[in-house]
Amino acid sequence: MRLILASASPRRLDLLARLGVAVAAVDPAHIDETPRPGELPPRYAERIAAEKAAAVAPRHPGSIILAADTVVAAGRRILPKAEDAGQVRACLKLLSGRRHRVLSAVTVIDAAGTARHRLSTTIVTFGPLSAATIEAYAACGEGVGKAGGYAIQGRAEAFVRQLAGSHSGVVGLPLFETRALLIAAGLAFG
């Protein structure tokens, strides 16, 4: 059975490889990811993952479609995917010394067109970050393009004082939830 990844994220591709899953094609959805007024972070993540899967499914009839979205939330606030070093700095200043949630929503559409959804919530606590640490991280470029302005699988892992939940979910694809959805969609695992 063909598995289509509705994401251009190399991290998601790597995480699927950890499950021993071969992806037949990568086909990013290219949807509008603007949060709706008053939309809470969990609902936003779930909606975006579902919309990505629904946008890609018609292009690959008879295939399994996997889509995901990862959101960093400080309270009710959805942090951006940092577009530049300035946004990385702003995110890290906000997250310094405090807890935040990382929500990773996964949608899988099976070959018959049935959609299934899961949401992983991880609580991440950063230690206090000095201005020099924030500046050095922003300058390295690692946080650009990442939800909340940081990559836990890189240098930012050293900022994490405590993590409760799915490490792979923070990277971008919660493996426990993803495996369950793929099994339900008919993908066999050894």
Contact between 120 and 165 (Cβ < 8 Å): yes
Q: Is 69 a catalytic residue?
A: yes
Structure-token match 């936003």, residue found? 44
Determine the 3-state secondary structure of 8 from DSSP.
Answer: coil
171, 15 in Cβ contact below 8 A? yes
Task: Tell me which of 14, 27, 32, 69 is the catalytic residue.
Answer: 69
Residue 164 to residues 99, 105, 120, 127, 160, Cα–Cα distance (Å): 10, 17, 11, 15, 11
Angle at Cα 155 formed by Cα 152 and Cα 158, nearest 5°? Answer: 80
Separation CA 87–CA 58 (nearest Å): 35
Angle, helices 10-18 vs 175-184, to 10°: value is 70
What are the catalytic residues? 69
